[in-house]
Amino acid sequence: MPTIAVLGKGRVGGNLAAALTRAGHEVRVADRTQGAAADATRTAQIVINATPGAGSLDRLTALREELRGKILVDVSNATLDGPDGLPADLLYPGSSLAEQLQEALPETRVVKTLNTMLFPVMTAPATLTRSPDAFLSGEDPQAKQAVRELLVSLGWRTEWITDLGGIRTARATEAAILFVPHVIRAGGFAPFAISIAR
């Protein structure tokens, strides 16, 4: 199994790191400090960006050399928050954080996924009452296959994972974050995922 670095020790990063460790992966977790992130990234084959999306581009471009040739799994959403602290608008309208990262890091294989759900669903998709969807966006087929295998190790069934195409498709899934505050206000902070009914 590939060594995985998780950048970010908040709810998202901590949840992913714990679940990946339980699944048998070798996981290194780094906080926001540049030295810790560089150390973890340097020795990993797959790096997961679970840092707050508004600052992710600056943090990750500072790791350009460490990320060269790596798979970068971006699970963050870059938003401008409203007065209540919930997402109110997109930081990169007409684009996406994943596209910005891929442009800034051309020698890194960026794959966007797991950003259309509340964080508990990322590692426990079968706990929902209906089958959720996880979407993949990225330019490199081999990188997307590696991320697909990572998701399967977290409990995602292959039929729940949809490859949307190139990195430009990430702007669609990132825009879905604008549903989240309204769903939370309407039904409380209960785990949910945005899914496609077929």
What is the extent of the structural domain holding 129? 4-187
- Domain membership flag for residue 93: yes
CB atoms inside a 10 Å sphere around CB 9: 16
195: in domain: no
In a domain, 198, yes or no: no
pLDDT of residue 66: 97
Is there a domain that residue 192 lies in?
A: no
Say what the pLDDT of residue 86 is.
85
Tokens representing 27 are 């996981």
Q: What global pTM score does this model have? A: 0.95
pLDDT value for 188:
84
Q: How many domains would you assign to the chain?
A: 1
In a domain, 100, yes or no: yes
Q: Which own/partner pairs from 181-186 qualify as long-range (CB within 8 Å, at least 24 positions apart)?
A: 181/82, 181/84, 181/86, 181/87, 181/88, 184/86
In a domain, 48, yes or no: yes
For residue 28, is it within any domain?
Answer: yes
Predicted pLDDT at 2: 85
Q: Is 130 inside any structural domain?
A: yes
pLDDT along the chain (198 residues), means of 10: 92 96 95 83 96 94 97 96 89 96 98 96 95 97 98 97 98 94 88 90
Q: What is the pLDDT of residue 74?
A: 98
Look at residue 85 in the predicted model and tell me its pLDDT.
Answer: 84
Q: Phi and psi for 176 in degrees, rounded to 5?
A: -65, -15
| Residue 42's CATH number | 3.40.50.720
